[in-house]
Structure 1
């Protein structure tokens, strides 16, 4: 009964504050997606320029996560989490109060600096404080905050931002501030082994660790190749805005489901085996979904399209836990740095996916061809994963 309440001393009542912090950073990545016209009008820029508020966040995170992770790797973990969360909150308040586009961009850079370090520090804390046999459930619980944000980000942004696009940014800051108070009051201090920078970076010499980071890039690239342009993919069959909102909300809910399920499976089986099943499922789903959207009658294409999108949500949400658990074991004492590198891989994959999808559409290809592109990327990611997944190490990684 005790294990349902805590993970060897780290209680859910403690982990929930990390989940709330993850929720605030997650929702920040989605909340602006449906508000670009309002942002562009208010800041007197074009909609593509308004979209760079999201791009600069992703690029800053990708570049700075490993740098900040390395620079703070010797710090006490609760202080790192609290400081990075405070910076993240301040950055969002800057955006919410920005009188012009330049200051809004600056605020997004500040929030990205805090957010990328925060996510890496949270994951390193959970991995360090949780034994391997409970790590899947612990990561699932904390990452559940991010998955919930995936479900609520676009709908919340559209609903709250109807009167003013700045309100969602205030909401993100308020949620982050609440999490900060909880972390300062409830989170135990954690001092990770000091070691040298060379010792901490030594895991990066492992081909399997580097391959794991490439798999992260591949999963996110395949996901965002389609997710970024979901409105175009579903446009021919679901024209009303409220339908798209419901579809995106459903995607987030299925992502949460995938996260919860693989959290338990990762504890029961091994991260490599769970990840193999998830990647294979995502690949088959992309192939079947692409054929249905491209060649099935309209009604069947609509049904199959929804099935593809929601199953993709299950797979993309479900890949996070076994991937983080696998990298955590490989990282050892360098967990903080490796989690920062994985955060960069996530941001890089998302940026590559959005760019790749845009290039494909610019050639005049129909939106459903994005699923074929996603399948190619997943084939590469699965091949890399299988290449390094040795049966002799499957029981320990």
Structure 2
């Protein structure tokens, strides 16, 4: 008989509400990427400024996650999940109803404060409520909501946002509200031992681990430097909205493929080997894509641009599993804390990437120049990764 519970832990019928909450936060992180021109026009700001609505969300998440996690560590977990999800929903409603850029900016900060705490508490809840031998499946089930959001976020935003960019934000709030009701009705209460901020940051005393977290920052920074402004990069060659929708959907699917493939490869080979191949591939892909978009004829540039973007999806999606496995191996006794810090590193990298891309465009550079910036970041990241790997083996 097929099991419906994680070995007498929380049932999958209950975990699905956490997956829905993860989906809402995941889709929120991607839904704005395809709507920057519409947002900029409505709020009367530049497209680079509109991109900072994604940047401030990621940067706030990176800074606030460990602080809020510590401040609420004595709270009952279901209540914390519900409160953080409610704050996230309110923030998205503020953005959806914002009369100007300043209010929208503030709404993104509010949403980030709720979202970053929500993700951290969900991770801790699943780990605490699931036996070790089923933990991977449970986490995969819940985080499957986030992975689905990476594939659907931008295309859903583009489809629903055809008449107004505000509708996708309302959709995020609606999904979050549905998840909130399910969590309040179905999720069991849970009390966990309190922790201090010093406990959470203690693994950073290891220089090798800190360097490993910087690798995460580099991977996400290079990714979001281009992804945040992908609609601008493809604008000259793919003008129809339905084309951009398909392209973004394809990126999400290839990201999921990369995640699935490297998950199996990491079990077969070492995480360091797999990550080295992924980072090298991403670097070469960025260089080739930059050359193609700069010098190739229009038709060839369109084809090469698509190839670059989809391969970047494979690499960016595929880097997560080996990187997390490598970080866990660097500090096996502090795995939960390290994964939380890695979450902050992901948000920081996304924020830096969106900000750096915006600065580049504001300086007057052409959108395809962002590939050069991404390649530079990837070269530095690969060098740092190899340095950490070398120290690991010596």
TM-score range, shorter chain: 0.7 to 0.9
Q: Kindly tell me: are residues 207 and 7 of structure 1, through their superposed partners in 2, closer, same or farther at Cα, counting changes over 3 Å?
A: farther
- Equivalent position of 1:303 in the other structure: 303
CA contact (8 A) 2:73 2:193 kept: no
- Equivalent position of 1:171 in the other structure: 171
How far apart, CA to CA, are the structure 2 residues paired with 1:140 and 1:15? Answer: 11
Once the two structures are TM-superposed, the CA of residue 335 in structure 1 deviates from its matched residue by 5.8
86-95 vs 245-254, greater mean Cα deviation: 86-95
Once the two structures are TM-superposed, the CA of residue 155 in structure 1 deviates from its matched residue by 2.3
How far apart, CA to CA, are the structure 1 residues paired with 2:163 and 2:201? Answer: 48
Q: Kindly tell me: are residues 108 and 372 of structure 1, through their superposed partners in 2, closer, same or farther at Cα, counting changes over 3 Å?
A: closer
Show the 5 A alignment for 1:5-24. 6=6, 9=9, 12-24=12-24
How far apart, CA to CA, are the structure 1 residues paired with 2:279 and 2:209? Answer: 17
- Equivalent position of 1:150 in the other structure: 150
Q: Is the partner of 1:73 in helix, strand or coil?
A: coil
Q: Kindly tell me: are residues 295 and 41 of structure 1, through their superposed partners in 2, closer, same or farther at Cα, counting changes over 3 Å?
A: closer
Show the 5 A alignment for 1:296-375. 296-328=296-328, 338-361=338-361, 365-375=365-375
CA contact (8 A) 1:136 1:322 kept: no
Once the two structures are TM-superposed, the CA of residue 124 in structure 1 deviates from its matched residue by 3.5
Show the 5 A alignment for 1:235-274. 235-274=235-274
TM-score (norm 2): 0.84
Q: Kindly tell me: are residues 177 and 68 of structure 1, through their superposed partners in 2, closer, same or farther at Cα, counting changes over 3 Å?
A: same
CA shift digits 1:75-133 (9 cap, x unpaired): 44433322211211122223334455544433322211101111222233445556777
Q: Kindly tell me: are residues 4 and 223 of structure 1, through their superposed partners in 2, closer, same or farther at Cα, counting changes over 3 Å?
A: farther
1:211 corresponds to 2:211: yes
What count of residue pairs does the alignment treat as equivalent?
394
Q: Is the partner of 2:30 in helix, strand or coil?
A: coil
List runs of 5+ in structure 2 lacking aligned partners.
none
CA shift digits 1:300-340 (9 cap, x unpaired): 33222211111111111122233344445656676665444
Q: Is the partner of 2:319 in helix, strand or coil?
A: helix
TM-score (norm 1): 0.83
Q: Kindly tell me: are residues 292 and 213 of structure 1, through their superposed partners in 2, closer, same or farther at Cα, counting changes over 3 Å?
A: same
CA contact (8 A) 1:121 1:336 kept: no
CA contact (8 A) 2:93 2:173 kept: yes
Show the 5 A alignment for 1:284-295. 284-295=284-295
- Equivalent position of 2:30 in the other structure: 30
RMSD value over aligned CA atoms?
3.5
Q: Is the partner of 2:31 in helix, strand or coil?
A: coil
CA shift digits 1:218-237 (9 cap, x unpaired): 01111112212323332343
- Equivalent position of 1:385 in the other structure: 385
Once the two structures are TM-superposed, the CA of residue 39 in structure 1 deviates from its matched residue by 4.5
CA contact (8 A) 1:135 1:267 kept: no
How far apart, CA to CA, are the structure 2 residues paired with 1:231 and 1:244? Answer: 7
Show the 5 A alignment for 1:77-226. 77-99=77-99, 101-128=101-128, 138-194=138-194, 196-226=196-226
Once the two structures are TM-superposed, the CA of residue 299 in structure 1 deviates from its matched residue by 3.1
CA contact (8 A) 1:147 1:317 kept: no
How far apart, CA to CA, are the structure 2 residues paired with 1:46 and 1:57? Answer: 18
105-114 vs 271-280, greater mean Cα deviation: 271-280
List runs of 5+ in structure 1 lacking aligned partners.
none
CA contact (8 A) 2:6 2:130 kept: no
